Structure 1
Amino acid sequence: MKMRRIDHIVLTVTSLEESSRFYHEVFDMPIIDRQTSDSVITLRCGHQLIRLQKTDRPTDLKPAKPTVGSADLCLVAGDKLEDILHHLRSYYVDVVAGPVEKHGSEGEMTSIYVHDPDSNLIEIAVYKNK
């Protein structure tokens, strides 16, 4: 079996509206599906999707213990780090760490870290020479 890529991730959130607003406005991710009756909102992140779900989502297809605030993920940005920092400040999003030099799947990168409304740790990375 050859895995090619990640298609989507699912984040368990407290408020679909607050979280979708954060990812849509702060990270400019378009909302492509809003199934609030199923407690799911889907956003596009590059070629992948991020789905937001509530802990009480009415489905058996979810983790055994969906937990708010337990995710740790890295988003790759196409902007300059100084522009990202300015943008985050304009939305009153605190940087909790960084910038730090890291090594990602495509090589050297510089990362900063923020928390989303549910305290998930979001790494924002900018690759060098890309």
Structure 2
Amino acid sequence: MIAALDHLVLTTEHEETCIAFYTGLLGMELQSFGAGRRAFRFGDQKINLHLKGREFEPKARIPQPGALDLCLLAAIPLEEVIARLHAAGMTIEEGPVARTGARGPIRSVYLRDPDGNLIEISSYG
């Protein structure tokens, strides 16, 4: 019945630092749509952005910054991801470590976005 994930919603308390993290550090494209809505676009997916207390309806029952645990697939080798994260002064909480992704074995590093969401950046093969 389900073919793929189209988008998900991230709730933030720190709009500008959140935008800088996802666009500047992770290289996603900031997209505006609808009546003042924003999203981070990458590949064929996007992450819609909601501001805490000003979420769009309908929304999660308890929208909460820092509640996501999100795995993103890297478009570049994981070693290059690690080098870029270090160059940006980011703290890698764990990794690289072996994990299991939707299609099989992956290598991952873990860090936090400005709201404390756990971001896993991974690579197959």
Check the 8 A contact 1:20/1:41 in 2, yes or no: no
Structure 2 residue 96 is the aligned partner of structure 1 residue 99: yes
| Aligned residue number for residue 57 of structure 1 | 54
CA RMSD of aligned residues (A): 1.6
Give the Å deviation of 1:60.
Answer: 3.0
Which residue is equivalent to 1:90?
87
The one-letter amino acid paired with 2:12 is V
Aligned length: 125
Pairing of 1:98-117 with structure 2 (within 5 A): 98-117=95-114
What percentage of residue pairs aligned between the two structures are identical?
A: 34
- Residue aligning to 1:118: 115
Gaps of 5+ in 1: none
Q: Once superposed, which parts of structure 1, at least 4 consecutive aligned residues long, lie more than 2 Å away?
A: none
**TM-score, normalized by length of structure 2?**
0.92
Gaps of 5+ in 2: none
- Asked if structure 1 preserves the Cα contact closer than 8 Å seen for 2:92 and 2:109, the reply is yes
Deviations along 1:54-91, whole A, 9 cap, x unmatched?
Answer: 12125331112111101001000021121111100111
Q: Secondary structure at the match of 2:110?
A: strand
Distance 1:59 1:113 in 2: 29
Matched residues in 2 for 1:51 and 1:98: separation?
27
Given that 1:19 and 1:52 are in contact with CA atoms closer than 8 Å, whether structure 2 keeps it comes out as no
Q: Normalising by structure 1, report the TM-score.
A: 0.89
Asked whether the 8 Å contact 1:20–1:52 carries over to 2, the reply is no
What do residues 9-32 of structure 1 show as CA deviations (whole Å, max 9, x unaligned)? 101101222101110011100112
Per the alignment, residue 29 of structure 2 pairs with 30
Post-superposition Cα deviations, 1:78-110, rounded to whole Å, max 9, x if no partner, equal: 211211111001111110011110111121110
Instruction: Give 1:126 shift.
Output: 0.6
